[in-house]
Amino acid sequence: MEKRLNAYVEKMVGAVDDVNKINPEYFSKYNVKKGLRNSDGSGVLVGLTEIGEVHGYVLYEGERKEDEGRLIYRGIDVVDLVRGFQQEQRFGFEEVCYLLLFGKLPNKAQIDEFTSLLGDMRTLPNGFTEDMILKAPSSDIMNKLARSVLVSYSYDNDPDSIEAKNLLRQSIELIARFPTMAAYGFQAKSHYYGGQSLYIHMPRPDLSTAENILHMIRPDNKYTRTEAEILDLALVLHAEHGGGNNSTFAARVVSSTETDTYSAIAAAVGSLKGPKHGGANIKAMQMLEDIKENVSDWGDDEEVKAYLTRMMNREVFDRAGLIYGLGHAVYTLSDPRTILLKEKAHNLAIEKGREKEFLLYDAVERIGPEVFSRKKGTSKNICANVDLYSGFVYNALGIPTELFTPLFAVARIVGWCAHRIEEVVCMQKIIRPAYKSITMPQPFVHLEER
């Protein structure tokens, strides 16, 4: 049967290719914003939110002017948040969760109560690990994560209610359990597809989210304070990025139908899996590995520039003509997440004896925009985005590549849940944009006449 299906697909794929081509001129003719992007690359304004703001430009006399990048969580600059956490030498992800869900920073008693609750909720329901993760392992952890989210519906006594208190309960449970789901999905994949020993470490209620991740994925449970701090920083910086990023928008679109939380969040996980979204840091790291193999002197800017030029000319690496880790839909002059993560990445590189490699990443950040501008013939500014250094950080932490995107999901689940609640409670209108049909009319022809 499978052979017959494959033969049919091979025969008909040409027809599918032919029928799914739209003349690019039509997008201009009908003023269609392809990819919901304006002509300058910015996103089409489709909604309002009080949760997060991604700032990269200002409007001056009706024109868009580039500005230093800023990322705002509930009105608070993420730089101020991170500096505060660092000054007080404490983990910040749990506090960011509280801020995004409830709209304000918690006091000591409030964060202690919230952190304790998350700690107690990290363990998966009875039988979940054995029946839903270990019995049906997946070669891709993101697919396993999406399935784990959907299966959670069956373990919920009130899965369909969209009352605010129910949405909040479900959100807290998912935020707490995502690290465990991702870690166990990784262990199952490593065992059944990689032939590794299977070990399941129970999450510890006394540890932060970042500490628990390292505790659960490492055979010996050990990690350093520096390692936990930089992973916590990565979680803070990936927790929210406005309503327009693809996975959050997917969560809002699905939530607008008033479906259940698990369906909406699973849709967001599916979106994040895509290499143009959550998998971008993997591409950046793979690109750097290719550069390391083909550039003999990592400290020679001219040699690095020459190889990046060949990359832009589609001669090397994946021949896509891209320098991964550079450029962003909103940020132009700077990405605040990159600046904050790069600082800690340098410290980690020194601790791990990988400073030379770190300096190569820095060279790509410095030289890449110049190569891009020369190739494209444009003076448009582009900056390094967070993906350039996040892959390096995870790799330096010994985190396997297949966990990079799941860790993104562990952080972004907070933003997804906050936006779902805002969409359901506040908007109360199904998202239903329009598509212009450009099909030419044709008559019906009877079967025997075709």
Active site residues: 328, 387
Give all strands of the β-sheet with 52-60 in edge-to-edge order: 52-60, 63-73, 76-77
Show the 3-state SS of the chain. CHHHHHHHHHHHHHHHHHHCCCCCHHHHHCCCCHHHECCCCCECCCCCCCCEEEEEEEEECCEEEEEEEEEEECCEEHHHHHHHHHHCCCCCHHHHHHHHHHCCCCCHHHHHHHHHHHHHHCCCCCCHHHHHHHCCCCCCHHHHHHHHHHHHHHHCCCCCCCCHHHHHHHHHHHHHHHHHHHHHHHHHHHHHHHCCCCCCCCCCCCCCHHHHHHHHHCCCCCCCHHHHHHHHHHHHHHCCCCCCCHHHHHHHHHHCCCCCHHHHHHHHHHHHHCCCCCCHHHHHHHHHHHHHHHCCCCCCHHHHHHHHHHHHCCCCCCCCCCCCCECCCCCCCCCHHHHHHHHHHHHHHHHHCCHHHHHHHHHHHHHHHHHHHHHHCCCCCCCECCHHHHHHHHHHCCCCHHHHHHHHHHHHHHHHHHHHHHHHHHHCCCCCCCCCCCCCCCCCCCHHHC
Measure the CA angle with vertex 317, ends 311 and 321; round to 5°.
40
Q: Which tokens sit at 217?
A: 């994925």
Q: Which tokens sit at 417?
A: 């849940």
Residues β-bridged to residue 54 = 71
Q: Choose among 436, 448, 437, 450: nearest CA to 33.
A: 436
